[in-house]
Chains A and B, each alone.
Chain A
Amino acid sequence: MKRSCNFILALCFASLQVGAQVNRTDSNGFALVAIHSVGPQFELQTGTNSIPAGIVNRFIFGGFIKNESIDNFESNMPSSLRGGAAMRFEISNKGQFLWTGKGVWKHPRVSVFHEQNAGFQMNDDAFRLIFKGNGAYLGQTLNAKIDQARRFSTYGLNLQWAKRISSGSSPNWKQMWWSISPTILKGYSEINAFTASVLTDSLAQNINVDWGGNIRTATLKNGIAGWGMLAGFGYRSTLSSPTFKSWSIELKDFGAFKINSLKDYSRMSPPGAGSINISTSFATLTEIFGGEWFKGRRDSLIDQMEIDSSSASKWVLSPFQIKLGLEFKKFIVSLDWRNLPGYIPSLKMQGVMKPIAKSSAFKWAPGLTLGGFDTWNIDLHTGLDLKPRLKGGFSANASVLGIESLAFPGKQHGLGVRAGVLFSF
């Protein structure tokens, strides 16, 4: 995951939005009450099916992972591991146009965003090689396998329009929205069907390695790996019912990235040889996995290998999201899926936010999530609303996803954070 965020571009866009004031009518003559608001939003979601939260959290937030943590997990490790993380930072004008009739939301919601998405599916021996190294398994064969792994790092500008289809006076109004996002790809790498059989003898004099599959990393040109155009579409329909409020469907950030140069660090077996013997080398297997190792090595191993390090441009599908939502009077149910390895369909249930005390600006709601990067999470959603729909208003929200992982860091569970503030003026 990228170590720092560059928001210069974001600030430029944000500054364009601050201070503008609009007060118009829509195409049907209905008055639009325009209240401009702006604020940052941050969302982070992590998880695995089995790796303890203590390890995952270090991965996400940094820090040293103790050997004991890795050893403890290894003793109960399942054979198949999956997981990932999705982070989005966004600054947007919230576009709180409160219309009174049907019509098009003429001023688009504008936001700049930075996203980092990564996911993987691999087996236990791959974990052993990455987290403990071959030195911990002398005389043993490790059959590491990474079915799939993807990492995206993007910056983009999102323009979103909305249209209210039915009259605002109707209790059963419908709304649709669509968006486009010209996006810069700052980093991309992928691993496909990678297998590595590694046997290090007891004195580490020979390492037999037999691997296949491919490791591809985008080459940066002027700091950019590629570009893409993403599009989104959503539809919401409200219903007048004692228990049910609305349903919605959304396709978010669907599109493709054109990668200028994707370097392939594949290894072809030499004719007649089933494995490679490393007899004189100095490299770490994590570097081998990361593909970095191939760049500087010039030893006998390279002579034995026919490494295909060719580069080629490529289109890749974005890590888009599909969401289905059902809003009841007392709770909300949503189902979503991301185009990322390690992410399984996620079912979220959340109570409707309620004030902590009568007339309090502070609200909260519990939640439960099944699936996603994780297997299950207990969530806590909080919010603070101070005249959010009026000039000079302020609202904030903060959600902790996977709250149980804080209580049991030694157990598997992901952690997520969603937070944002909104200033209205």
Chain B
Amino acid sequence: MKTKWLIPLLGLMAAGCSRKTARWDNNVALPLFETHLTLNDVDQRFLVNTASDTGYNLIYDNLVYSGRSLKVTAPDTSINTAFTLRRLKLSDRSISQRITLGQINPLFNLLNGQTVDVAAQDQSNLSPVDIDASAFFETATLDSGFLDITISNELPVNVKLVVFELQNASDGSFVASDSFLNIPQGGFAKKSINLRNKTVRKNLKGVIRRLITDASNGPVLIDAKKGVEVILTVRNLRPRDAIAAFPNQTVIDQDQGLVLDMGGPQVKFFKVKSGYLKLMVESTIQENMTMNLEIPSASINGVSLKRTVKLPGAKPGGREIQEETVDMTGYILDFRGVNPTVKDTVNTFHQILRVTLDSSGRKLQVTLNDSLRIYYALTDLLPEYATGYMGQTLNKNAGRAPFALFKGADGNIGFKSFTASVLVKNSVGAEGRVKVNKLECENIFSKNKVLLTATPLSGNIIIPPSPFVYGSASEKKVVLDAGNSNIKAFVENLPQWIDYDLDIETNPNGNVSNWKDFVFDNSSVDVYLRLEAPVSFTVGGLNLRDTQALEIESLPKIQRVKSATLILDIENDYPIEAGVEITMLDMAYQPLGKVDIEPGIIAPGKTGPGGTPLASTNSVVRATINREKAELLQKTRFLAIKAQFKGDGTQQKIYNSYKLKIKSSLMAEYEAQL
């Protein structure tokens, strides 16, 4: 077919449609890893050299037990109040209505303006008179309340009896009725009707069921427009169901102290490290509401906690909800009660809750089915510190703790000289008592166990409160030596585990501080076994090592890294200069090459008397990974970090609490593609 040549032509055109990728350089900066190098990362082989010709005094504190028996937590505290219409009221109001002489007896209309003798009258069931009570409400069924009926006599004769009845005009239902006796000319009589369980509507009818009047004393001027004036006054109305314009009113008014169960401690003050105040108001009431919550016991920078929540009226049949969460971080809670100058108590906070109905002037329907629910809660409160009396607590603690100094070591190693001690650190602001019932160590390789017998540990160790400084602790050291214990055999067992049995008591002598105990969020009683031994690192110095994984396998685009800079931000606690070395390792932990770090020396940290760390020094070093080494980076799965300390020949103390903190990040020039 003559058109067959078209097909290969089209195929050629289609093949030419392939598109190259767009590429550009992207500068990516990302954190890599963070590691802390401590003596737990020391090369074990250096510890076996105990020659004290030169080198360092290694102080190794092994934590045997750490107890936070005085952890103060405030329980979640919530107020959940629901109330109904019984708490609402309607305004006291009055209306008046006159029943004229002409209405009482139409005959007087003919005599209007004349002076005549009026005979005694006795009439029944006079024509009803309309009374507009819309000033009260549209309609209301009342739980309680009163209707005062006042009848004033404007007639030219004395009234001996009036029986007055009030009806709802719409259905003629009975509202109230009462009789009024002996009302002189110009005088009045008043009766109160209990409106409980009565339904009253705005359109009323007043009916005089009976009217008895005296005869006049001689001729009197007839004024048909005068008669008896009926004054209706409602008061103290508590509606069950009403359509009305509700006045401004306070519907909840609480001012009280709330007692919290703190689980033992008697807390005076509590500074919040974290926690929330949660507020929620829910209403089906069609009128606007306002909730004012004040907690005078909670303050920050001297300002007490106040919150106002406005709630618009709910739609008919609906509900309106407002919620708010307040971060309580930094607040100080005063648990001394409502008025500490009058009554200084504990675990009690002062709260004021007021809910008001804000009248909009609209006539709204409110029934007993309407409700208003107030919920507020102090939740997840954790203290930065708490003060008061922390109580007298005795905790018996038995368990097993690792002894990391000799991890992985076995064999027959002898220490030439060392000192050991049991060190108790108390960071609680209360006196403590520690009784060591048992310390037994185990070497898991030889299965050998050694029970520590020490005369100084037979009695109680009393330790004073710590100073009121965050992170500080009081210490008590009990020195063990060959003369008062079998500590040498204990240590030379090269244990990996220590079994302990300890009694730890807080305030063994009661409330001696007079409610001035305190506890921080990190306060604890810690028991250490301290070893202090001269060690030598003359061969190769002291090396600390760590290996960090790079999850490069999850990055399919790593091959597009052109060059990179590894940044190490190093904080050095050690009082010695350190050199840092980074080696790239492949998946089999085989070295691929080192990266060149500039500068290679990390400045020493600052220490105080006795070698205690004062301040670390900060050094930022960089390693440039050029284009050639970037290819190695693509194969790298691990980074080996080696920190090497070389001494200057002077004796120095090294604590295992020292850290070489390394934070690393990578800045890479990366070819993005799309």
Contacts and interface: CB of A to CB of B under 8 A. Distances in A.
B34 A280 contact: yes
Contact of B551 (A58, A138, A278, A298): A298
A374 B667 CA distance: 36
Interface stretch (A59-67, A216-224, A226-234, A235-243): A59-67
B27 A136 contact: yes
A170 interface: no
B551 A299 contact: yes
B301 interface: no
A134 B670 CA distance: 12
B303 interface: no
Nearest to B276: A272
A10 interface: yes
Interface in A44-72: 58-65, 67, 70
Nearest to A392: B2
A3 interface: yes
Interface in A278-331: 278-287, 296-299
Given A18-B7, A280-B33, A70 B24 contact: yes
A337 B10 CA distance: 31
Given A4-B17, A18-B6, A63-B20, A132 B26 contact: yes
A204 B7 contact: no
B290 to A, nearest CB: 28
Contacts of B26: 131-133, 135, 284, 286
Interface string A345-382: 00000000000000000000000000000000000000
Contacts of A3: 18-21
A136 B14 CA distance: 41
Contacts of B34: 205, 279-280
B7 A14 contact: yes
A14 B33 CA distance: 58
B1 A279 contact: no
A159 to B, nearest CB: 19
Interface in B148-192: none
B674 interface: yes
B346 interface: no
A58 B672 CA distance: 13
Interface string B15-57: 0011111111111111111100000000000000000000000
Contacts of A340: none
Nearest to A116: B19
B412 interface: no
Interface stretch (B398-406, B552-560, B623-631): B552-560
Interface residues of B, number: 46
B20 A61 contact: yes
Contact of B31 (A6, A138, A205): A205
A415 to B, nearest CB: 14
A1 interface: yes
A1 B7 contact: no
Contact of A67 (B21, B25, B33): B25
Contact of A204 (B25, B33, B567): B567
Contacts of A423: 3, 6
A420 to B, nearest CB: 11
B672 A282 contact: no
Contacts of B28: 133-135, 284-285
Given A18-B7, A204-B567, A425-B3, A62 B22 contact: yes
Contacts of B665: 203-205
A207 interface: yes
A64 B674 CA distance: 11
B4 interface: yes
Contacts of A15: 7
Contact of B23 (A10, A64, A138, A200): A64
A90 to B, nearest CB: 11
Contacts of A2: 19
B22 A63 contact: yes
Interface of A: 1-7, 10-11, 14-15, 18-19, 38, 40, 58-65, 67, 70, 89, 91, 130-136, 138, 200, 203-207, 278-287, 296-299, 423, 425
Q: Which 3 pairs, one residue from A and one from B, show the smallest C-beta to C-beta distance?
A: A62-B20, A135-B27, A7-B14
19 contacts: A2-B19, A60-B22, A61-B19, A63-B20, A64-B23, A91-B10, A130-B672, A133-B26, A135-B26, A138-B29, A203-B620, A204-B31, A205-B569, A278-B30, A281-B31, A286-B672, A297-B554, A298-B551, A425-B2
